[in-house]
Amino acid sequence: MRNFLDRIRYYFRDCYGVDKLSTYIFILAVILSFNRYTSFVAFALLAYGIYRTISKNKYKRYQELATFNNFFNIIKQQYYSRKASFSQRKEYKIVKCPNCSQKLRLPRKKGKVTITCSKCGNQFKAKS
C-alpha cells in the first residue's frame, strides 16, 4: 500500500497542482452539476480542471492563471466602481466626457456648469 502511494506521488511529482483558477473551475462545476441542463458543461469543466491540475506544462498554466487574474480584476474593479457610483448617486452625477469618454463626477444641484475634463482638458457644458 505504501509502495502504491509512493508510485502515485512519483507520477504526480512534476504536476502543476491546484491553483486559484482550478479551484474556481471546480466550484463552478459543482454548482452547474445540480442542474441537469448544465451538467454536461459541469463535466467538461471538471475534466478541464483535472487536466490543469495534472498538467506538466507549468508555463502554459501560469499564463492561463495570469489571464484569469486580469479578467477577474477587471470584473472586480467594475463591480466596485458601480457600487461606489450607486451609493453616491444622491450627491453626485456621473457624466462622460464627449471627447475621450472619461467618466467625471459632478456635485448635484449646481445648475448648468462648465466642466473641464481632467484627462484631456476638453471643456463642455452639462446640467448637474
**Where along the sequence are the contacts to Zn ion (CB under 5 A)?**
97, 99-100, 102, 117, 119-120, 122
Which is closer to Zn ion, CB of 73 or CB of 99? 99
Which is closer to Zn ion, CB of 61 or CB of 93? 93
HSE-CB at 91 with a 13 A cutoff on CA atoms is 4
CA torsion sign for 69, 73, 74, 75 is positive
Quickly tell me which residue has 484627462 as its cell: 119
Least Å distance between CB 78 and Zn ion?
A: 20
Which is closer to Zn ion, CB of 58 or CB of 119? 119
Least Å distance between CB 120 and Zn ion?
A: 3
**Number of CB atoms found within 10 A of residue 111's CB:** 6
Burial (CB < 10 A; 0-12, 13-18, 19+), residue 25, is buried
Least Å distance between CB 118 and Zn ion?
A: 8
